[in-house]
């Protein structure tokens, strides 16, 4: 059967790899001065941002580290984490017919799921994280709640257990309802969430992929999804994690990169950009600065 095209709307964390701003990625000399380190990365325009050592969580630079802001489809990192921790990823789940109305109502980005198709939870996680599918988020939440409300409660309970005291989820995909500020977090909380998620081999294996294909089979159509992270394939060493955008949240990106045994994780919230195509400009500036430091 012909593969169904993935829909990418103006709401969710859609990004196109070629839209990433190709900033210089070369590290500065190892003799970078203390003054340079203290100055932090130049040119970061995000309203709030931070970058940390991935292995320890030590924050190297931040702006409004504990300011609560919407994070759009970065929300789906928690959605995935709840599912992964629940287990049963080989479980077969039928896509409910309600996903079509849901995607249309919110003009959400979607993985193009066909109601009635049966996919495994593992395959749905691919559709959740790579093309930022709100339909995949809906399907997983309905199955793993069970029910949408119960699943959102599990997201908030997990946030509490992780100590994410300035994070709240009103939905499972980061769409701006009931309001644009109903789902929110902080740079500090999102770096912690990202570190927890990247400790999962399942999660890491998904967000590090450029694309994913499902051949048509018994009970489902064929699917092909591209990863919308603007750094993958553009910034050397990028290994994840998740972009997001809404008019309220602006351009958001939770990211990680590794080179020569050093790994940094960071986030930018409400960065400037045109439309829904999330760019990697602020993330690139932060990573370039971090990799230029001689002592991390």
Do 56 and 234 meet the contact criterion of CB atoms below 8 Å apart? no
* Alpha carbons 280 and 236: distance in angstroms, whole number: 12
Q: Which of 73, 170, 185, 271 is catalytic?
A: 73
From the candidates 109, 132, 263, 271, give the one annotated as an active-site residue: 132
90 is catalytic: no
92 is catalytic: no
- Reply yes or no on whether 76 is catalytic: yes
Residue 18 CB neighbour total at 10 angstroms: 10
Residues 6+ apart with CB under 8 A from 149: none
Helices assigned H by DSSP within the chain = 34-39, 75-86, 98-106, 121-129, 134-144, 148-161, 187-198, 201-207, 281-292
Buried b (16+ CB within 10 A) or exposed e, 171-195: bbbbbbeeeeebbbbbbbbbbbbbb
Write down the catalytic residue from 76, 154, 192, 242.
76
Interacting residues of 253 by C-beta distance below 8 A, sequence separation 6+:
74, 229, 230, 231, 242, 243, 244, 267, 268, 271, 278, 280, 282, 283
CB 160 within 8 A of CB 172: no
Triad 95, 220, 13: Cα angle to 5°: 55
The catalytic site residues sit at 73, 76, 132
């Amino acid at each position: 059967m012909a593969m169904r095209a993935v829909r990418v709307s103006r709401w969710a964390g859609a990004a196109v790899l070629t839209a990433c701003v190709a900033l210089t990625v070369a590290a500065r000399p190892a003799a970078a001065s203390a003054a340079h380190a203290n100055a932090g990365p130049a040119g970061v325009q995000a309203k709030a941002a931070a970058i940390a050592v991935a292995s320890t969580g030590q924050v190297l630079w931040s702006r409004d580290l504990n300011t609560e802001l919407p994070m759009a489809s970065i929300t789906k990192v928690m959605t995935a984490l709840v599912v992964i921790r629940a287990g049963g990823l080989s479980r077969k789940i039928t896509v409910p017919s309600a996903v079509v109305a849901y995607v249309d109502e919110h003009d959400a980005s979607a993985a193009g799921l066909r109601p009635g198709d049966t996919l495994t939870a593992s395959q749905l996680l691919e559709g959740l994280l790579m093309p930022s599918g709100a339909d995949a988020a809906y399907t997983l939440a309905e199955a793993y709640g069970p029910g949408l409300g119960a699943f959102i409660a599990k997201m908030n309970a997990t946030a509490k257990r992780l100590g994410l005291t300035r994070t709240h989820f009103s939905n499972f995909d980061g769409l701006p309802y009931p309001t644009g500020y109903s789902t929110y977090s902080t740079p500090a909380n999102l770096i912690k969430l990202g570190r927890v998620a990247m400790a999962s081999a399942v999660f890491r294996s998904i967000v590090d992929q450029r694309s994913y294909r499902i051949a048509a089979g018994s009970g489902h159509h064929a699917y092909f999804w591209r990863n919308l992270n603007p750094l993958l394939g553009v910034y050397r060493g990028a290994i994840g994690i998740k972009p997001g955008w809404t008019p309220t949240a602006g351009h958001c990106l939770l990211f990680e990169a590794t080179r020569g045994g050093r790994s940094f994780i960071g986030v930018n919230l409400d960065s400037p950009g045109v439309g829904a195509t999330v760019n990697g400009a602020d993330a690139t500036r932060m990573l370039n600065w971090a990799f230029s430091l001689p002592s991390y």
